[in-house]
Amino acid sequence: MLSYVNPHDHDIERVVLTEEAFKNKFVKKGAAALEGIWVNADSTMRLAIQKFPNNMYKAIVLESSDISIPAGLVYMTLTATERGYLVKEHDSFITTDVPAKQKGNLLQVWNFAMFGKVYPTGLSNVEREELKTWRGNNNGLDFRKLSSKTAYLKIPTFRNNDDKIQQLVAKADPVIKTCDNLVVDLTGNGGGNTGWVSFLSYFMTNPIIQHDSYLRVTAENVQSKLADLEPFAVNPIPDEYKKYFPEQVLSAYKRAYQELPTTKKVFYPIPGVTFPLDSVLARPKKIALMVDDFCGSSTEYFFFISRQSKKTKTYGINTIGMMDYEGMSNPTPMLYDKYILTIPITKSSWTDTNPIDQTGCKPDVLLDGIPQQDWIEFVRKDLEL
């Protein structure tokens, strides 16, 4: 994957447009569902989304409190495809498709941003509350009770927010443990880090096994992996880590650390770590894990390991398919540092025999016949049967 981010070098396409002129044009010609006036979660920017030829929509800035985002700037373009909208933002470039989805009067740009439509329609109370959860870089994290029996945890991103997830779960924990059911909503979550460890304990009914991964053996990849293995292969590990790294795992790490520099294998197996079971929580008794076609990478990985839980049923639609290869957190240095090249260095244990990138992960209960804004209520009722 190649990306380019430079705040001093961005697209400068501008369209002369006032809110009054947009509304007049809007009334005369009618409009597609995406067209209208939208605001960001912090109410610091108003965008007019207008349709152009070739199934392209341009989000044009009407006003912004940020002086670097002037009125008339095309803030982003959205191209309608068979798979939904694909986004190009004005200040970045990435070779991976960035999807967007309209849900009623909400527009979600993958796990980056949420916008609310204020013209010609307005937000419902439910939509307004969801948009609020994206304020102040909260990125949609939310917890609430759906009923006396069911708690609801919403995690729309794992991007650099492990601490925020941990804080949210810690605050919600006393309530979650009084409820028979828990809905963990990962819809829209394109992945990132491993914030899911903060709520893994609710899912556990047995040890969670992580299978071996396979490092592609090159000089650079070996050096990177040796640095990862060194704290476990060379130094004594802290007492609190010992339950995750029993002697059998440490021996495998030490063997890998010794063999990697001289191995002739094309792919070398790196041992997986098992999450030990301390205890099975009495509540929640049942867990629903919700996913959709924006879910990828570490979100799909959590979906994969959650299948080992006897409490859990998955709901939604097939995920995006971004899990067969790992190591995107290891950028390859470029001559110009504003370009960031990331190449996977590891393949997963299932890649050769049961790959998922072409299909995504399929949930137990498909909700493709139900509008997405109605999924939560459907799942709640199903859990409470």
Helix (H, G, I), strand (E, B) or coil at 330: coil
CATH assignment of the domain containing 94:
2.40.128
- For the record, the structure tokens of 356 come out as 């998922």
| Residue 231 forms part of a structural domain | no
| Residue 60 forms part of a structural domain | yes
* 201 plus 291 within the same structural domain: yes
Q: DSSP letters of 22-59?
A: HHHHHHHH---TT-EEEEETTS-EEEEEEEETTTEEEE
Distance CA 141, CA 287 (A): 18
| Residue 247 forms part of a structural domain | no
Helix (H, G, I), strand (E, B) or coil at 73: strand
* 62 plus 193 within the same structural domain: no
* 145 plus 118 within the same structural domain: no
Distance CA 11, CA 9 (A): 7
Distance CA 116, CA 351 (A): 39
- For the record, the structure tokens of 382 come out as 């199903």
Count the neighbouring beta carbons within 10 Å of the beta carbon of residue 80: 15
Give the residue carrying structure tokens 């498709």. Answer: 97
Range of 285's domain?
Answer: 141-208+277-323+360-383
| Residue 235 forms part of a structural domain | no
| Amino acid type, 28 | K
* 167 plus 293 within the same structural domain: yes
* pLDDT recorded at residue 182: 99
Q: Which residues have CB under 8 Å from 122's CB, separation 6+?
A: 105
CA 246 to chain centre: 31
* pLDDT recorded at residue 18: 92
Q: What is the pLDDT along the chain (385 residues), one digit of tens a residue?
A: 888 877 777 778 999 999 999 998 877 667 899 999 999 999 999 999 999 999 999 999 999 999 989 999 999 999 999 989 999 999 888 898 999 999 999 999 999 999 999 999 999 999 999 999 999 999 999 999 999 999 999 999 999 899 999 999 999 999 999 999 999 999 999 999 999 999 999 999 999 999 999 999 999 999 999 999 999 999 888 888 888 889 999 999 999 999 999 999 999 999 999 999 999 999 999 999 999 999 999 999 999 999 999 999 999 999 999 999 986 667 887 888 889 898 899 999 999 999 999 999 999 999 999 999 999 999 999 999 9
* pLDDT recorded at residue 25: 82
φ, ψ of residue 158 in degrees (nearest 5): -115, 20
Total tally of structural domains belonging to the chain = 2
CATH assignment of the domain containing 193:
3.90.226.10
* 16 plus 65 within the same structural domain: yes
Helix (H, G, I), strand (E, B) or coil at 376: helix
* 69 plus 152 within the same structural domain: no
* 187 plus 292 within the same structural domain: yes
| Residue 50 forms part of a structural domain | yes
Domain boundary among 125, 152, 170: 125
Cα 220 to Cα 224, 332, 342, 348, 350, distances in angstroms: 6, 10, 13, 19, 24
Whether the full predicted model's pTM is greater than 0.75, yes or no, is: yes
* 91 plus 188 within the same structural domain: no
Sequence length of the chain is: 385
Let me know: does 131 contact 123? Beta carbons within 8 Å.
yes
* pLDDT recorded at residue 333: 78
Distance CA 104, CA 286 (A): 29
Domain boundary among 80, 98, 125: 125
* 199 plus 313 within the same structural domain: yes
Burial (CB count within 10 angstroms: exposed 0-12, middle 13-18, buried 19+), residue 57? buried
Element (H, E) at 299: helix 298-306
* 7 plus 155 within the same structural domain: no
| Residue 163 forms part of a structural domain | yes
| Residue 63 forms part of a structural domain | yes
* 201 plus 157 within the same structural domain: yes
* pLDDT recorded at residue 334: 85
Domain boundary among 63, 96, 125: 125
* 170 plus 49 within the same structural domain: no
| Residue 351 forms part of a structural domain | no
Which stretches within 111-183 are classed as H helix?
125-132, 162-176
